[in-house]
Amino acid sequence: MTSISNVSCFNEARRVAIFGGTHGNEMSGITLVNLWIKNGKEIQRKGVETKPFITNPRAVEKCTRYVDTDLNRAFTTENLSAPSGDDLPYEVKRAQQINEIFGPKGSPDAYDVIFDLHNTTSNMGCTLILESSKDHFNLQMMHYIKKAIAPDSCPVLLTEHPLLKYSTSRSVAKHPIGLEVGPQPQGVLRSNIFESMRVVLKHALDFIELFNEGLEFPPCSVDVFRVWDKMDYPRDTNGNIIAMVHPNLQDCDWEPLNPGDPMFQMFDGTTVRYEGVGTVYPTFINEAAYYEKQQAFVTTRRETLVAGAIKKA
Amino acid sequence: MEKRQVVLPTLSRVAVCGGTHGNELSGVYLVRERLKKKKVVEEEEHVSVVTVMSNPRAVQHCRRYTETDLNRCFTRATLSSPVTDKTPYEIVRSQELNSLLGPKGSPEATDLVCDLHNTTANMGLCFIAYSDRDWISLHIYRHLQRQMSGIPVRFLHFDLPLNEAYSLDSVGKHGFAIEIGPQAHGLVRSNILSAMQEGVQHMLDWVRLFNSGAQFEGGQVEVYTMVKNVDYPRDPETCGLTAAIHPQLQDRDFCLLRPNDPLFQTFSGETLKYKGTEALYPFFVNECAYYEKGIALSLARQRSVGIPSIRSEREGERGKFKSAAEEIEEEETEEEGSPIEMECEKQSGSL
């Protein structure tokens, strides 16, 4: 690890948003945000304006992931710059509204930090999602959170990938952070999952408060899992799924998958094995919402990122 | 203990149904695979098995239902309601299924209807039926209990008369749902699908044995009878939840809930306790689909039920023995001081 003597200065994180209901059936975030809209005391921090916000109210009302199209894929340049009109899908219109309130994406007026709260049916624990390996502010925050909740773990998923990265609702902010907590069925609220998400957010907001007060955070390294590839289910000629995640792989998010390890179990009982080169770390294993996205699980590779020292400008 | 033997008509037509809720995928996949491999109707020596995808539209959209819950559409009233072009899809479909597998309550009805479901609750494998005296259902239950070691097998009884019975399985002369959890809706877990495949196989094996004349000894089985539903605490203005199932109750279906045991945890961290006076067995704890029905969990009493030895009618015996319904009627007038509780509270609501 090279020693970095420069300290990167970032502007104070003055405007912070907490998004819930980007997917209308992911209940922890919806419940927390509604709680904080009613009484925001828990999320208040000195010098920070924290705004809880339900991003997809129509989907929340119907307790469905989305109404017309996945909001968390809708923040593309094309969508955000499309001429507004009634014939646009609901979520595209919503993305434009969100971009107006919390962005514009990529501009100096955008919100400093957005936390986007999600649940997954996968056994991912409390996963933090990082979009850029160069975001030292976020890396330092994630390092802080990981230390604070130890010995419980908080894996970091880095979604920086030329093809597989997608345009999230949080991407409107300068520092977007995804929080993905599971396993929890869609439409269900589990106490333990709800509390875990709440604790992680508490530490995240504490970090921001400390940063804004002028604390300097020394260089640190953060172990991350970088998205590598996605694996679909075996399908028949009609596109129907003909196998399921193998019992040896089910619930084993973040554990090594080696070439030759069981991956799928066909309905006739035969085993399909992983034939990649080298060990990967699968995640989003058996996420219900990804059946339609042709994704049984995502493979990742381990990497250590180094964040330089940071302090408030 | 039952000492007599009961003789019942053979089960010549059996239906295996899946996708009654389109996002309960074990049944959907099981039915799809059966339809792929075999004909829709399998004619075998001892039984004809019909495989049915109950709600194809909901399956296509991977939703529980499209307009209304299909598995609440099988009451007499709904089955006989006139159909217009405003009639919800699922009501039209329930009448189609009643023609195919019923008519409910008639001599033409399918002998046995088995409807496959999943739940997000940690319920293992549960038979769900309207009678605790249907010897066919109870013998099949006991058979699965003996054959299946990897998953708990239980029998849940909802005490409703046939006219009010609202689910698909009530269309057959005999019927039950097989409910397996925990599994999130919209996905397939290999262990859950394997359990369902195994359960269906054992059920069909039992039917073949029964139809071929085998005798099944009597005995005692444990049955859970539904007593009441309990809703979440809700905000009086918005009706939104103000608490979740307590961590000490979550996943503890069929573990006795005693007065003052933790029931809910509010979002401010307070524990709300079970205020009932009777210790009962919780089930459907945190079932996703029941939030909209105002049910956080249901509660049941457990008791032991004696089942008689049974066998099927032989060739020359047709019509010689009483029907199952007549047997039950006679039994009810004979028994005195029966421990069987006929009264069931079905109120939903507060602790």
Domain ranges of chain B: 5-224+302-347, 229-299
For tokens 């809720």, name the residue. B21
Residue-averaged pLDDT of chain A: 95
- Cβ neighbors of B183 (< 8 A, separation 6 or more) are B24, B25, B26, B118, B119, B120, B189, B192
User: Quick one: pLDDT at residue B340?
Assistant: 30
Q: 10 Å Cβ neighbour count for A41?
A: 6
The CATH code of domain B229-299 reads 2.20.25.160
Chain B residues lying within 8 Å of A188, measured CB to CB: 120, 184, 286, 288, 291
User: Quick one: pLDDT at residue B37?
Assistant: 83
**pLDDT for A140 beyond 50:** yes
User: Quick one: pLDDT at residue B343?
Assistant: 25
In the predicted model, residues of chain B with pLDDT beneath 50 are 1, 328-351
Q: Find the closest chain A residue to B288 by CA distance.
A: A188
Give per-residue burial for A80-105: e unless 16+ CB within 10 Å, then b: beeeeeeebbbbbbbbbebbeebbeb
Answer yes or no: do B289 and A187 touch at CB < 8 A.
yes
Q: What separation in angstroms does the CA of B296 have from each of B21, B220, B305? A: 19, 31, 28
Probe site for chain A from B267, B284, B292 (most A CB atoms < 10 A): B267
Using pLDDT thresholds of 50, 70 and 90, give the confidence band for residue A2.
Answer: very low
Q: What separation in angstroms does the CA of B206 have from each of B47, B139, B203, B216, B345? A: 11, 9, 5, 10, 34
Give me the torsion for CA of A205, A209, A212, A217, rounded to 10°. Answer: -80
For tokens 């955070």, name the residue. A217
Chain B residues lying within 8 Å of A241, measured CB to CB: 29, 188
How far apart are alpha carbons A10 and A23 in whole angstroms?
A: 31
Answer yes or no: do B250 and A288 touch at CB < 8 A.
no
User: Quick one: pLDDT at residue B121?
Assistant: 98
Chain B residues lying within 8 Å of A245, measured CB to CB: 189-190
Q: Just list the catalytic residues of B.
A: 179
Distance from CA of B22 to the nearest CA of A (A): 13
**Between B338 and A10, where is the model more confident?**
A10
CATH superfamily of the domain spanning B5-224+302-347:
Zn peptidases (3.40.630.10)
User: Quick one: pLDDT at residue B318?
Assistant: 75
Crossing angle for the helix pair A136-149 and A191-212, nearest 10 degrees?
A: 130
Answer yes or no: do B247 and A191 touch at CB < 8 A.
yes
- Summarised one tens digit per residue, pLDDT across range A117-133 is 999 999 999 999 999 99
Answer yes or no: do A186 and B191 touch at CB < 8 A.
no
Chain B residues lying within 8 Å of A192, measured CB to CB: 247, 250
Distance from CA of B281 to the nearest CA of A (A): 20
Do B138 and B153 form a contact (C-beta atoms < 8 A)?
Answer: no
Q: Which of A64, A121, A191 sits opposite B187 (nearest CB)?
A: A121
Q: Find the closest chain B residue to A42 by CA distance.
A: B268
Using pLDDT thresholds of 50, 70 and 90, give the confidence band for residue A5.
Answer: low
- Consecutive H or E run containing B134: none
Provide the pairing of β-strand B124-129 with B153-157.
Answer: parallel
User: Quick one: pLDDT at residue B41?
Assistant: 64
User: Quick one: pLDDT at residue B323?
Assistant: 53
Q: What separation in angstroms does the CA of A80 have from each of A16, A77, A86, A111, B175? A: 21, 5, 15, 16, 54
- Summarised one tens digit per residue, pLDDT across range A211-246 is 999 999 999 999 999 999 999 999 999 888 999 999
User: Quick one: pLDDT at residue B190?
Assistant: 96
Probe site for chain B from A265, A267, A271, A287 (most B CB atoms < 10 A): A267
Chain B residues lying within 8 Å of A289, measured CB to CB: 186
Identify the burial level of A134 via C-beta atoms within 10 angstroms of its C-beta, where 0-12 means exposed, 13-18 middle and 19 or more buried. Answer: exposed
Chain A residues lying within 8 Å of B62, measured CB to CB: 291-292
- Summarised one tens digit per residue, pLDDT across range A172-201 is 999 999 999 999 999 999 999 999 999 999
User: Quick one: pLDDT at residue A177?
Assistant: 98
The answer to whether A169 is annotated as binding is yes
The verdict on whether A180 is a catalytic residue reads yes
Q: Per the structure block, which two tokens stand in for A153? A: 């773990």
How far apart are alpha carbons B32 and B112 in whole angstroms?
A: 20
How far apart are alpha carbons A305 and A287 in whole angstroms?
A: 27
Sign of the CA dihedral running A60, A66, A68, A72: positive
User: Quick one: pLDDT at residue A169?
Assistant: 98
Probe site for chain B from A189, A197, A198, A241 (most B CB atoms < 10 A): A189
Answer yes or no: do A185 and B120 touch at CB < 8 A.
yes
How large is the ipTM?
0.93
Of the residues A42, A180, A275, A292, which is catalytic?
A180
Answer yes or no: do A185 and B32 touch at CB < 8 A.
no
The percentage of residues in chain A with a pLDDT greater than 90, rounded to a whole number, is 91
The answer to whether A65 is annotated as binding is yes
